């Protein structure tokens, strides 16, 4: 079975982890790309008027993504990565889940974070998929991660 690693990366940190996971697991890689890229100012979580702060304060916010012809039929399991914002996934992840058909799929989350855990991420993401889509909490992947550590984690997923 060929795997898919889909990810959103605002600053490049999650992208690097996703690329390494895809390389180790020999999975396909898909970047969730915002239609309007995030600037450094957009990502300033200390500014209540920044784009990221406004999006996260409005849980119905759905930042537009560049929608590509992503055929999910050949994937049963998708690893989905993102940075943690305010203890949940950025709302652009909801956009991704709502723009594609994940019916019957299993989604395993991985994230990067400055110190937060997954919090209520699964609760917020479940509203964006069908009832027969399974979303599982995976792992926060921070710091200097060795290939052997990533390989060991991937093996626990039985991909």
What digits encode the pLDDT tens for the residues 54-113?
A: 888 888 999 999 999 899 999 999 999 999 988 899 999 999 999 999 999 999 999 998
Q: Extract the tokens encoding 104.
A: 């019957």
| pTM for this entry | 0.93
The predicted structure's pLDDT at residue 159: 66
**Tokens 């991937």 found at:** 154
Structural domain boundaries in the chain: 4-156
Q: Homologous superfamily of 4-156 in CATH?
A: Flavodoxin domain (3.40.50.360)
Q: How far apart are CA 76 and CA 132, in angstroms?
A: 12
Per-residue pLDDT tens digits for 118-159:
999 999 999 999 999 999 999 999 888 999 999 999 999 876
């Amino acid at each position: 079975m060929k795997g898919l690693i889909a990810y959103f990366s605002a600053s490049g940190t999650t992208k690097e982890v996703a690329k390494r996971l895809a390389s180790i697991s020999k999975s396909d890689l898909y970047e969730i790309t915002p239609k309007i890229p995030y600037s450094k100012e957009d990502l300033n979580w200390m500014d209540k008027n920044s784009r990221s702060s406004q999006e996260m304060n409005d849980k119905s916010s759905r930042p537009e993504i560049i929608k590509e012809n992503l055929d999910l039929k050949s994937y049963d399991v998708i690893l989905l990565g993102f940075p943690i914002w305010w203890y949940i996934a950025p709302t652009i992840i909801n956009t991704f889940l709502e723009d594609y058909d994940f019916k019957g799929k299993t989604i395993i989350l991985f994230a990067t974070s400055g110190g937060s855990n997954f919090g209520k991420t699964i609760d917020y993401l479940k509203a964006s998929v069908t009832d027969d889509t399974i979303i599982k909490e995976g792992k926060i992947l921070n710091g200097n991660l060795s290939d052997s550590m990533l390989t060991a984690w991937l093996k626990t997923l039985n991909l």
